[in-house]
């Protein structure tokens, strides 16, 4: 993998911030976009823009074909059994809300349990809390240990025939932990529970085969996979999706409408009410093709090299405490530095051209576990280099000196 060549594909990386080369280490928040994705979106608006599934004219046919081609690209990437299982949404958040509303309202009742984990993003907590409030079900939480790993012994104890759904993050955005989702899915299925995996962070770093995993629902966002914002996907098993009521009503999700009765459209359209983010979906397809052109295995091995290198630096940096030291983790270095608030770190690093995220990362229970208000987080992508990690640590040394 030629990182210098890959960097040339990302126009945004070629700039300076405060007179220093941009070092973009906020990839868990959103990744940058390669020229081919930008060009694809631009070409759609310049040459093919039309509404889909409706028009008989050439532009509408072209737009529909490009939109449905993207669905097939995404189906193949996740090895879903059919394009009927690939529902486009606004992103991971909407995908999870879709399941919590449409599946949850139909299948969860008082006395049932939803089991999530201590390291979930708010997107995989709040929709389940809302479902529990509506139905009288209860929310149970799998604890984690100090390394930021799930307590699988306690997971097994918390699972029961009352568990209707297990919601688990594939890769934690706050800690980097990669969770043993294969084993979680097997154990959950053994008690008859469905499993929703939040793949917002994982899907651009590790291969995901939804059939091999036998996962019921897998949710992710295009913008963390080198694609546009405002678009994502929910992959669900066909039989489960077919039995679910719609999430939203409107155009495209119907076959016929009268004031007496509406007949719903077939999958996947039943869950795509209204004009979707057509340009975004087409750009998402281009982003997946770009990842495939580099190769996920090569990307993962490069990123592992970056994480190992950064972890060695972190281990010898005076005053730095890493947050999240799981044996199996990827791409995220979350930490606090004694005497420096993470937000101050973020601001000082920006003056050095280094972009990181500081905050609770929409994972407040993780912050509560470690008794910190926030962490600083550097997160890596395929275009990052060891030189950039050196730049991160020299900027951190400056920040530490200012506050000493
Ligand atoms: N995490 C971060 O900086 P959306 O916003 O719907 O694309 O993704 C939500 C989401 C869900 N689950 C996980 C594990 C995530 O990391 C995110 C988004 C960003 O960590 C923004 S808070």
The alpha carbon of 57 and the centre of ligand 1 are apart by a number of angstroms equal to 38
C-alpha dihedral sign at 12, 13, 14, 16: positive
Residue 51 sits in the same domain as residue 189: yes
Does any ligand 1 atom lie closer than 6 A to the CB of residue 156?
no
Residue 199 sits in the same domain as residue 344: no
Does any ligand 1 atom lie closer than 6 A to the CB of residue 362?
yes
Residue 137 sits in the same domain as residue 16: no
Does any ligand 1 atom lie closer than 6 A to the CB of residue 377?
no
Domain boundary among 262, 292, 322: 292
Residue 12 sits in the same domain as residue 61: no
pLDDT at res. 404: 85
CATH number of the domain to which 229 belongs: 3.40.640.10
The alpha carbon of 199 and the centre of ligand 1 are apart by a number of angstroms equal to 9
Distance CA(52)–CA(211), nearest Å, equals: 29
Does any ligand 1 atom lie closer than 6 A to the CB of residue 357?
yes
Is 175 within 8 Å of 119 (Cβ atoms)?
Answer: yes
Residue 279 sits in the same domain as residue 315: no
Is 195 within 8 Å of 289 (Cβ atoms)?
Answer: no
Residue 154 sits in the same domain as residue 198: yes
pLDDT at res. 328: 98
pLDDT at res. 54: 83
pLDDT tens, 121-144?
A: 999 999 999 999 999 999 999 999
Tokens of 362: 């929409």
Residues 6+ apart with CB under 8 A from 341: 373, 374
Distance CA(49)–CA(307), nearest Å, equals: 41
Distance CA(251)–CA(262), nearest Å, equals: 11
Does any ligand 1 atom lie closer than 6 A to the CB of residue 3?
no
Residue 161 sits in the same domain as residue 279: yes
Is 37 within 8 Å of 56 (Cβ atoms)?
Answer: no
The parts of the chain modelled with pLDDT lower than 50 are none
Residue 213 sits in the same domain as residue 82: yes
The alpha carbon of 50 and the centre of ligand 1 are apart by a number of angstroms equal to 30
Residue 48 sits in the same domain as residue 127: yes
Domain boundary among 251, 276, 292: 292
Residue carrying the six token digits 């928040």: 29
Does any ligand 1 atom lie closer than 6 A to the CB of residue 123?
yes
Question: Given the CA of residue 357, which atom of ligand 1 is nearest to it?
Answer: 3
Residue 213 sits in the same domain as residue 347: no
The alpha carbon of 288 and the centre of ligand 1 are apart by a number of angstroms equal to 19
Q: What angle is formed at CA 56 by the lines to CA 51 and CA 57, rounded to 5 degrees?
A: 75
The alpha carbon of 54 and the centre of ligand 1 are apart by a number of angstroms equal to 33
Which of 117, 175, 200 most suits a substitution to test ligand 1, by most atoms within 8 Å of the C-beta? 200
pLDDT at res. 55: 80
Domain that holds residue 256: 38-292
Question: Given the CA of residue 174, which atom of ligand 1 is nearest to it?
Answer: 20
Question: Given the CA of residue 170, which atom of ligand 1 is nearest to it?
Answer: 14
Helix axes 278-294, 58-78, angle to 10 degrees: 40
Q: How far is CA 316 from CA 13, 45, 319, 396, in A?
A: 29, 50, 9, 13
Number of domains in the chain: 2
Domain boundary among 270, 292, 314: 292
Residue 374 sits in the same domain as residue 345: yes
Residue 242 sits in the same domain as residue 280: yes
Closest CA to 388 of 27, 63, 1, 91: 27
pTM: 0.98
pLDDT tens, 212-261?
A: 999 999 999 999 999 999 999 999 999 999 999 999 999 999 999 999 99
Catalytically active residues, by annotation: 362
CATH number of the domain to which 382 belongs: 3.90.1150.10
Question: Given the CA of residue 29, which atom of ligand 1 is nearest to it?
Answer: 3
């Amino acid at each position: 993998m030629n990182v210098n060549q890959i960097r040339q594909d990302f126009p945004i990386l070629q700039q300076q911030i405060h007179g220093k080369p941009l070092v973009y280490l906020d990839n868990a928040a959103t990744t940058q976009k390669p020229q081919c994705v930008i060009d694809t979106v631009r070409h759609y608006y310049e040459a093919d823009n039309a509404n889909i599934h409706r028009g008989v004219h050439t532009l509408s046919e072209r737009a529909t074909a490009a939109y449905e081609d993207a669905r097939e690209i995404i189906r193949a990437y996740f090895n879903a059994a059919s394009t009927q299982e690939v529902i486009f949404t606004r992103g991971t958040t909407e995908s999870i809300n879709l399941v919590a509303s449409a599946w949850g309202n139909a299948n969860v009742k008082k006395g049932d349990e939803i089991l999530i984990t201590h390291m979930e993003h708010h997107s995989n907590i709040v929709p389940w809390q809302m479902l529990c409030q509506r139905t009288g079900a209860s929310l149970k939480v799998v604890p984690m240990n100090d390394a930021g790993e799930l307590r699988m012994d306690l997971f097994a104890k918390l699972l029961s025939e009352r568990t209707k759904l297990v919601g688990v993050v594939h890769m934690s955005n706050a800690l980097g932990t990669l969770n043993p989702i294969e084993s979680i899915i097997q154990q959950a299925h053994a008690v008859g529970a469905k499993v929703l995996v939040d793949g917002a962070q994982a899907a651009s770093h590790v291969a995901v085969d939804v059939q091999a995993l036998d996962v019921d629902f897998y949710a992710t966002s295009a913008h963390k996979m080198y694609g546009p914002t405002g678009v994502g996907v929910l992959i669900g098993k066909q039989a489960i999706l077919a039995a679910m009521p719609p999430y939203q009503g409107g155009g495209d999700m119907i076959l016929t409408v009268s004031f007496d009765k509406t007949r719903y459209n077939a999958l996947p359209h039943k869950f795509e009410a209204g004009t979707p983010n057509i340009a975004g979906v087409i750009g998402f397809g281009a982003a997946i093709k770009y990842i495939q052109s580099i190769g996920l295995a090569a990307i993962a091995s490069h990123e592992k090299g970056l994480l190992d290198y950064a972890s060695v630096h972190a281990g010898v940096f005076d005053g730095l405490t890493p947050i999240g030291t799981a044996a199996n983790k990827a791409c995220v270095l979350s930490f606090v530095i004694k005497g420096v608030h993470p937000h101050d770190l973020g601001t000082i690093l920006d003056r050095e051209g280094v972009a990181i995220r500081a905050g609770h990362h929409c994972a407040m229970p993780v912050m509560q576990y470690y008794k910190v208000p926030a962490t600083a987080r550097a997160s890596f992508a395929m275009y990052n280099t060891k030189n950039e990690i050196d730049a991160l640590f020299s900027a951190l040394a400056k920040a530490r000196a200012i506050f000493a």
